[in-house]
Amino acid sequence: MNTLVFTIKTKADTKNGRRLYGKANEMARLNAKDVERVMLLQQRLYQADNLTETLPLHLQQIEIITVSVCINQDWAVYQFHSKQADEKTLLQQFYYLLDHSMTLVSWQSQWLRAFLRQRHLLYAGQLPTHHAMQVLQQHVDLALQLQLPMQAHLLAELSQLLGFPAALQTDALLAAKMEVWQIHRLWLRQQLNEEAISWLQFDLIDRCLQQQMACVK
């Protein structure tokens, strides 16, 4: 079974935050962290009863895209992050990997599709968004299949119960890799339970995943 498992980590879109809030000359003097604080404060003013630390989707941008690909039992991982390229290039790199012949899996497909649609508005006509959204529309939401709320800590807890290594917290890139591997292994377990793959197929791919995970502990 050809499978592509992916996660997208976001950060505050401070460039557009500077445009939306405060006076231009004042915002220009603030560093990124301070701009993010202003953005969060503004959201709390909009919603007086909401103390969330999460910005709305249109004020988030891509920080890391992590992809785990298994084709004919050969496995590889790719990462595209904001220190390498601008957001439009990250999306182009990610969309290049998408293919109708692969099963796409994520932990929170509804959130991901909504986020990507909003980011596409900024790059209208510059990305193959129609093809990408067609493929993404069909992808599997593992949290939904397992009937779990789409929360990251539930993925970590379930993975821990199954004996998977915990995601690293000290390095964002390594933590993202560990998370995508956790999703991939859970997906394999689910496929084995549903008899969609044989025990031999599961064992071959899972051993490869475990070897790769061991390299970053």
Answer yes or no: do 75 and 181 share one domain: yes
Q: Taking 80 as the threshold, does the pLDDT of residue 216 lie above it?
A: no
Per-state percent for the chain, helix, strand, coil, to nearest 5: 55, 15, 30
pLDDT-based confidence at 50, cuts 50/70/90? Answer: low
pLDDT tens, position by position, 152-162: 678 878 878 87
Answer yes or no: do 113 and 203 share one domain: yes
Distance separating alpha carbons of residues 17 and 35, to the nearest angstrom: 7
Tell me how many domains the chain contains.
2
Answer yes or no: do 129 and 187 share one domain: yes
Quick check: 67 and 180 in contact, CB under 8 A?
yes
Domain that holds residue 24: 14-57
What's the pLDDT at 64?
95
DSSP summary character for residue 127: S
Quick check: 41 and 104 in contact, CB under 8 A?
no
Q: Mean pLDDT, to the nearest integer, of 16-38?
A: 86
What's the pLDDT at 47?
72
Residue 62 in any domain: the answer is no
Answer yes or no: do 100 and 71 share one domain: yes
pLDDT tens, position by position, 67-119: 998 887 677 889 999 999 999 999 999 988 887 778 899 988 888 889 998 89
Residue 186 in any domain: the answer is yes
Answer yes or no: do 19 and 87 share one domain: no
